Structure formats: structure tokens, C-alpha cells
């Protein structure tokens, strides 16, 4: 009771008796999530406007007499003649570490039932991307924990790497595994007490997905203890298109906070095709001129301005980074579709997933030929470069040889050896979901394959052998793994040690078991 009276007393004490000026307008027409408003002469582009019942909207079309606003909440209570007022604020969302472990909507409101978010700062959802001067080149690795990616198309901190493929090819799994790997690295890094350790915080933006899929993703992250380092921005398929269009920008604002404050963050946009569809819907309702496939003319700018916000800042600007993993869903493997080509041209590389490979059991179903990272080995530690330098080439040659080998049975020994090695690398790169591999383990595994330690193991047993070697190394040879991480280079002494360890492991591993 006393707190209630104290609260009212406080409000009385701080009551502002001066005039408050607001700019208002009247709804003349409301339908399909868009309100046409007369008045609001002082409204800014992208400004939040307040409808009756505390429903917010954003002003998107400003004409001489009318303003078109996209309503961000329940439209059913709005009617013609209702008064709308400007807020003087651009659409902004809460940012900061307080959001970690939380699920929020496109406006940053919590939707996980864990109470309010006590965030101290807000960032506008639309911000200009960092310019040329504060940036520096991408040269620090961001380990995904997926061998095929880390070895052949490494991702660096501040890079934009597109994940593209048909439905049900494992696009989200790659993104979630990467988030899980960051959480695992963070946990080890914090535990080690290393002052130079730079954690990577993750933001997962779900656009136009089923709520059941999002619930599954959250459960996966929770199970892997990765949610503590992750923010989930959810604009599900049931939400209005404005929220689906805004969610990636809100997520980017949250990620930018980490980058601007000298930290590293990873953002996953799952997926931008659905965001483009939502934007198309809004644009058509707003009567903006439509172009190819009825998308508005600025659909390229929609994605380019979003992805340009991912950057690696130089030391003078805090040395932070924001890495983006946008996802695009293709139809029947068509990478030449409008939105797909747009995003391919914006990003610094793509991971292309193939339905055929997925159905053959090659998971992750990465197409080596069509996947590329334009940052390349600049984002790999030296030890990794030593073992993975030729893998992509070897795999490309393997695929070519395999195609030819189908026509004849007599193969020379060299070709046969190349095919056998290729078979083993393909098997080695198979990885189950939610089990990212630490980089030092990946280096050891690749070194073992390159140095013929897997040659006497049948290709069908390579996955089991790799898992066995991983267990052996992580339980019994932790000191060697630490040394690889520390030196970041495969020195002669490390290689000698590896040889001994691999011989010891081979005695314990029984391929036929």
C-alpha cells in the first residue's frame, strides 16, 4: 500500500504542468495492416506513431496530404476517425547484454514469459552501416564447428556468408550448430581466464517460420546450453508482415551494440527470402510500384543495407565485429532466382546445400563446387591452413575422377588412391546435427587423413573412426590439443607427438567392431 502511495506521490512531484505539443492525424482508411492517415504534417520517415490502445506503427509513405503507416500490433481495434499521434522517435529496440538468453519480438518486447528486459540502451532499427574508415579486413576466424565449412570455406569475424539451398537441406542446422559452437568456445574461453579471449555472442532472427519450428530451435539451443549467449528475435509466420520485414533490422541493431562496444557477434537471418516476401506484401499494399516478380524496386537495397551493417571494425573503433549468416531458400535448386542472386552478390561467399547430397546421407549437404568463401584462408589459423590447404582441390578432383571412374573398371593405382582419399574425406566431413567439432580436433582429424592414418579403414567406418579419435584426443590428449591452440601452428614436435598418439589410438580402435 505504502509503495503505491509513494509511487503516486512521486508522479505528482514530477508532474510536468507545461504544455505538451503533439502532432496528430486522423485515420481515413485502415486495411491489410496499413493505415492511411490525414494530418501528421510533422511526421518523419520511419518514425513511430501511436494509435489508440497503445498500438504502434511506422510511417513509411509520406505524401503531401496523407501518411501511410504500417501497424505493428493488433489492427482490429482501429477504426476510421481515430486519432494518431507522432512520438518523435524513430523505431528503436532495446540492446545490450540484458537481452542474452531471451526471446523477443521484432520490437524487442519479450515473448518468453521471463519478465521484463531491463535494458539501459535503445538503438534505432535502421542505422547507416559503418563506412570505409572504421573498417578493417576480415582476418580472425569464426569457427562454425562444421569441418566442411571451416576447412574449405572458412568464415571470418565480420564476414557475410550466405547459406542457400532448397527446403529441408539443413540450412538452419548449420546456423544453429554455429551458434552452439560459439557458446561452447565461449564457455571454455571464460573458464580459461584468458584476458585476450574474445567471446562471440549470437543473435538468431527467425522470419516467417512456424512457431513449432522456433520452439524446436529454442529447445535445441537450451539443450546445448547455448541460449545464455544467444538472443532470439522472432517474427513468426502468424505475425503481420511489418514485423517480419522489421525483425532482421531489429536483430542487426542488437548485434551492432556488441560490435560498437568492442565485442564480436554473430547474426543469423533465417530467412531473408521470407523477409523479401513480407516486404513485397507491404509494398503492394502501400501501392509502391512493383518490378520483377512483383517485388518493389528497392528489394536489393532492403538486403544490401541490412547486410552492409555487418563489419569488422578497426582498433581505433573498438575492434568489434558483426558476422552475418543470412539464409535464402531456393526453389528446386535454382540459385539464379531474383532474391537469391541479389543476396549472393551482396555477401562474401555462399554455402550451397544440395537436396541430392542430403538424400544420399551427406550431411551437411554442402556442394563443394558451388560453395565459396571470398575471405578464404585469411580467416584460418596457420595450423588449419597447413592441413586444409588442398582439401577443396582434392575434393574437386575426386568428384571429377569419380564421374569418369563410373565408365571403366580398370584404374591405375594413383587414381584409385585419389578416389579412396576422396571417399574418406567425404565421410570425414559427415557430421550429425548439434555436434560441432572444436578446431583443434578438426586439425588433428584432417592431419590424420592427409597422412594416411585412415587409409586402412574402410570408408564406411570413417565416421565412426573420426568420432573414436575425437573421443580419444579430447579425453586422453588434452595437452596436445591445448598446445595446437596455443601455438596455432603444426610444428615438427607437434607432428611427432601426433604420430605417436595416432599409433596409440589405432591400437585401441577396431574398425570391424
Partner 1 sequence: MTYSNSKLKILAKKLLQVSRDEKGNLSSQQVSKVLALIKKQFPSRQLRLLLKHYLNAVKQALLQEQAIIEYAGTIVPSEIDSIVKTISQHYNRSITTIEKNVPELIAGIKIRIVDDVYNTSIEQKLQIIQRKNFS
Q: Mind telling me the catalytic residues? A: 374
Among 1, 17, 128, 132, binds partner 1 (CB under 8 A): 17
CB closer to partner 1, 11 vs 412:
11
From CA 266, how far away is CA 259, in angstroms rounded? 10
Strands lying side by side in the sheet with 55-62: 34-39, 66-71, 55-62, 47-51, 83-90
Stretch that binds partner 1, among 10-18, 262-270, 296-304, 423-431 (CB under 8 A): 10-18
Helix, strand or coil, per DSSP, at residue 386: helix
Whether the CB-CB separation of 86 and 42 falls below 8 Å is answered with: yes
Question: Exposed, middle or buried: residue 425 (CB in 10 Å: 0-12, 13-18, 19+)?
Answer: buried
Q: Is 24 one of the binding residues for partner 1 (CB under 8 A)?
A: yes
Q: Is 20 one of the binding residues for partner 1 (CB under 8 A)?
A: yes
Could you tell me the smallest distance in angstroms from the CB atom of residue 120 to partner 1? 17
CB closer to partner 1, 3 vs 510:
3
Backbone angles phi, psi at 485, to 5 degrees: -65, -40
Whether the CB-CB separation of 28 and 80 falls below 8 Å is answered with: yes
Could you tell me the smallest distance in angstroms from the CB atom of residue 64 to partner 1? 8
Helix (H) / strand (E) element for 87: namely strand 83-90
C-alpha 85, offset from chain centre: 36
Could you tell me the smallest distance in angstroms from the CB atom of residue 210 to partner 1? 30
CB closer to partner 1, 9 vs 331:
9
Omega within 30 of 0 (cis) for the link into 485: no
Could you tell me the smallest distance in angstroms from the CB atom of residue 40 to partner 1? 6
CB closer to partner 1, 66 vs 423:
66
Stretch that binds partner 1, among 20-28, 304-312, 332-340, 410-418 (CB under 8 A): 20-28
Task: Tell me, by CB under 8 A, how many residues bind partner 1.
Answer: 20
Stretch that binds partner 1, among 8-16, 134-142, 320-328, 410-418 (CB under 8 A): 8-16
Whether the CB-CB separation of 483 and 496 falls below 8 Å is answered with: no
Q: Which parts of 85-144 interact with partner 1 (CB under 8 A)?
A: 85
The conformation of residue 378, written as its DSSP 8-state character, comes to G
Q: Which three cell numbers stand for residue 20?
A: 505538451
Backbone angles phi, psi at 413, to 5 degrees: -60, -40
From CA 337, how far away is CA 324, in angstroms rounded? 21
Place of cell 539501459: 120
Stretch that binds partner 1, among 16-24, 146-154, 177-185, 442-450 (CB under 8 A): 16-24
Helix ranges, 286-390 (H): 299-307, 338-346, 355-360, 382-388
Q: Is 493 one of the binding residues for partner 1 (CB under 8 A)?
A: no
CB closer to partner 1, 4 vs 132:
4
Helix (H) / strand (E) element for 212: namely helix 211-223
Stretch that binds partner 1, among 14-22, 201-209, 217-225, 471-479 (CB under 8 A): 14-22
Least Cα distance to 30 among 60, 71, 72 occurs for: 71
Could you tell me the smallest distance in angstroms from the CB atom of residue 23 to partner 1? 6
Among 1, 11, 31, 196, binds partner 1 (CB under 8 A): 11
Q: Which three cell numbers stand for residue 472?
A: 580419444
Convert residues 36-75 into a mask of x (bound to partner 1 by CB under 8 A) and - (unbound).
Answer: ---xxxx-----------x----------x----------
Among 1, 5, 13, 15, binds partner 1 (CB under 8 A): 15
Stretch that binds partner 1, among 18-26, 252-260, 286-294, 344-352 (CB under 8 A): 18-26
- Total residues belonging to the chain: 513
Least Cα distance to 241 among 58, 45, 38, 36 occurs for: 58
Q: Is 433 one of the binding residues for partner 1 (CB under 8 A)?
A: no
Among 6, 9, 22, 168, binds partner 1 (CB under 8 A): 22
Q: Which parts of 210-269 interact with partner 1 (CB under 8 A)?
A: none
Could you tell me the smallest distance in angstroms from the CB atom of residue 77 to partner 1? 14
Among 6, 7, 297, 360, binds partner 1 (CB under 8 A): 7
Which value, to the nearest 10 degrees, does the dihedral of the CA atoms of residues 453, 458, 462, 465 take?
-70
Q: Is 23 one of the binding residues for partner 1 (CB under 8 A)?
A: yes
Could you tell me the smallest distance in angstroms from the CB atom of residue 116 to partner 1? 13
CB closer to partner 1, 42 vs 496:
42
Whether the CB-CB separation of 156 and 378 falls below 8 Å is answered with: yes
Q: Applying CB under 8 A, which residues contact partner 1?
A: 7, 11, 15-25, 39-42, 54, 65, 85
Amino acid at each position: 500500500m505504502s509503495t503505491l502511495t509513494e509511487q503516486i506521490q512521486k508522479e505528482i512531484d514530477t508532474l510536468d504542468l507545461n504544455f505538451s505539443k503533439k502532432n496528430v492525424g486522423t485515420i481515413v482508411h485502415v486495411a491489410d495492416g496499413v493505415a492511411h492517415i490525414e494530418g501528421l504534417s510533422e511526421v518523419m520517415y520511419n518514425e513511430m506513431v501511436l494509435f489508440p490502445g497503445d498500438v504502434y506503427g511506422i510511417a513509411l509513405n509520406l505524401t503531401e496530404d496523407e501518411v501511410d503507416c504500417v501497424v505493428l500490433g493488433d489492427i482490429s481495434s482501429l477504426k476510421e476517425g481515430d486519432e494518431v499521434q507522432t512520438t518523435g522517435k524513430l523505431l528503436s529496440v532495446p540492446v545490450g547484454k540484458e537481452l542474452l538468453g531471451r526471446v523477443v519480438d521484432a520490437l524487442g518486447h519479450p515473448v518468453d514469459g521471463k519478465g521484463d528486459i531491463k535494458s539501459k540502451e535503445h538503438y534505432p532499427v535502421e542505422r547507416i552501416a559503418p563506412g570505409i574508415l572504421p573498417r578493417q579486413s576480415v582476418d580472425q576466424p569464426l569457427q562454425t564447428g562444421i569441418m566442411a565449412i571451416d576447412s574449405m570455406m572458412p568464415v571470418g569475424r565480420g564476414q557475410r556468408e550466405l547459406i542457400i539451398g532448397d527446403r529441408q537441406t539443413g540450412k538452419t542446422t548449420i546456423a544453429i550448430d554455429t551458434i552452439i559452437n560459439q557458446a561452447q568456445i565461449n564457455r571454455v574461453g571464460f573458464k580459461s581466464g584468458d584476458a585476450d579471449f574474445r567471446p562471440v555472442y549470437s543473435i538468431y532472427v527467425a522470419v516467417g517460420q512456424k512457431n513449432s519450428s522456433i520452439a524446436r530451435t529454442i529447445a535445441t539451443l537450451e539443450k546445448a546450453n547455448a541460449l545464455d549467449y544467444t538472443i532470439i528475435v522472432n517474427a513468426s509466420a502468424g505475425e503481420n508482415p511489418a514485423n517480419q520485414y522489421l525483425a532482421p533490422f531489429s536483430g542487426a541493431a542488437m548485434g551492432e551494440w556488441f560490435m560498437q562496444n568492442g565485442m564480436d557477434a554473430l547474426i543469423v537471418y533465417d530467412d531473408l527470402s521470407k523477409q523479401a516476401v513480407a516486404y513485397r506484401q507491404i509494398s503492394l499494399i502501400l501501392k509502391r510500384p512493383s518490378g520483377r516478380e512483383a517485388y518493389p524496386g528497392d528489394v536489393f537495397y532492403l538486403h544490401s543495407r541490412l547486410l552492409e551493417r555487418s563489419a569488422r571494425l578497426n582498433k581505433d573503433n573498438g575492434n568489434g565485429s558483426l558476422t552475418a549468416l543470412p539464409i535464402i531458400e531456393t526453389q528446386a535448386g535454382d540459385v539464379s532466382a531474383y532474391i537469391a542472386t541479389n543476396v549472393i552478390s551482396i555477401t562474401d561467399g555462399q554455402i550451397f546445400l544440395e537436396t541430392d547430397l542430403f538424400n544420399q546421407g551427406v550431411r551437411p549437404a554442402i556442394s563443394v563446387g558451388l560453395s565459396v568463401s571470398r575471405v578464404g584462408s585469411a580467416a584460418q589459423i596457420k595450423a588449419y591452413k597447413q592441413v586444409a590447404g588442398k582439401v577443396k582441390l582434392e575434393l574437386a578432383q575426386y568428384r571429377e575422377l569419380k564421374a569418369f571412374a563410373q565408365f571403366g573398371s580398370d584404374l591405375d593405382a594413383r587414381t584409385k588412391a585419389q578416389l579412396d582419399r576422396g571417399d574418406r574425406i567425404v565421410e570425414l566431413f559427415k557430421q550429425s546435427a548439434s555436434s560441432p567439432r572444436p578446431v583443434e580436433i578438426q586439425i588433428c582429424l584432417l592431419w590424420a587423413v592427409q597422412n594416411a592414418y585412415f587409409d586402412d579403414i574402410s570408408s564406411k567406418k570413417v565416421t565412426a573412426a573420426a568420432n573414436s579419435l575425437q573421443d580419444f584426443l579430447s579425453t586422453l590428449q588434452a595437452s596436445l590439443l591445448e598446445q595446437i591452440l596455443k601455438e596455432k601452428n603444426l610444428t615438427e614436435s607437434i607432428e611427432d607427438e601426433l604420430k605417436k598418439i595416432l599409433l596409440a589410438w589405432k591400437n585401441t580402435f577396431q574398425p570391424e567392431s
